[in-house]
Amino acid sequence: MSRWISITKAGLYDTKLSALIDAADSVSLGSGQTDRSTGIIADVVAEIRRKVGKSNQLDQDTTKIPGGLKALAEDIIVARLKISIEQELSTDERNNLTRRENDLNRIADGKDQVEAPDNPIAANMVNATSNPSFGTRCRNFTDRSQDG
């Protein structure tokens, strides 16, 4: 079984999100706008991968996140779908969203670990060159040393 999973629209239909996805994809769409859910799901996956990648290796498949973060991803997606259709978040949902964002920040800071990826890519390389340093040197040219 894979340790990292893909978060897809089809996969979210198996959860309680199907009605919310349908509402977000049909309510108040602009002309030429196809759906909201696909972009929201992709954005949440990208955000999770960006935070996970700060202190962990990522999977080669850009649609995959650690399996242990599935519920976290779903909670964030629920909040963003509701916001997209201008539906108010309950107090519990807001508190849960804050807790989930704190969890992601702990992962990004390296305080919490996630599952190792199934097909890891190389970790982000840290810049090995130092920043330039501008200091002062001892002046050899003075009015006394140059007679004048």
Secondary structure string (H, E, C) spanning the chain = CCCEEECCHHHHCCCCCHHHHHHHHHCCCCCCCCCCHHHHHHHHHHHHHHHHCCCCCCECCCCEEEHHHHHHHHHHHHHHHHHHCCCCCCHHHHHHHHHHHHHHHHHHCCCCCCCCCCCECCCCCCCCCCCCCCCCCCCCCCCCCCCC
For residue 48, is it within any domain?
yes
Under 8 Å between Cβ of 104 and 48: yes
Mean pLDDT value across residues 13-17: 78
Cα–Cα distance for residue pair 42/63, rounded to 1 Å: 8
pLDDT, tens digit, 9 for 90 and up, residues 62-98: 999 999 999 999 999 999 999 988 889 999 999 999 9
* Number of domains forming the structure of the chain: 1
Residue range of the domain that includes 63: 4-108
Residue 90 is assigned to a structural domain of this protein: yes
Residue 43 pLDDT class (50, 70, 90 cuts):
very high
When mean pLDDT is compared across 14-18, 44-48, 118-122, 142-146, the lowest value belongs to 142-146
Reply yes or no on whether the pLDDT at 130 is more than 60.
no
Q: Which residues is 4 bridged to in the sheet?
A: 66
Tell me whether residue 134 is in a domain. no
φ and ψ at residue 64, rounded to 5 degrees:
-105, 145
Compute φ and ψ for 66, nearest 5 degrees: -55, 135
Residue 58 lies in a domain: yes
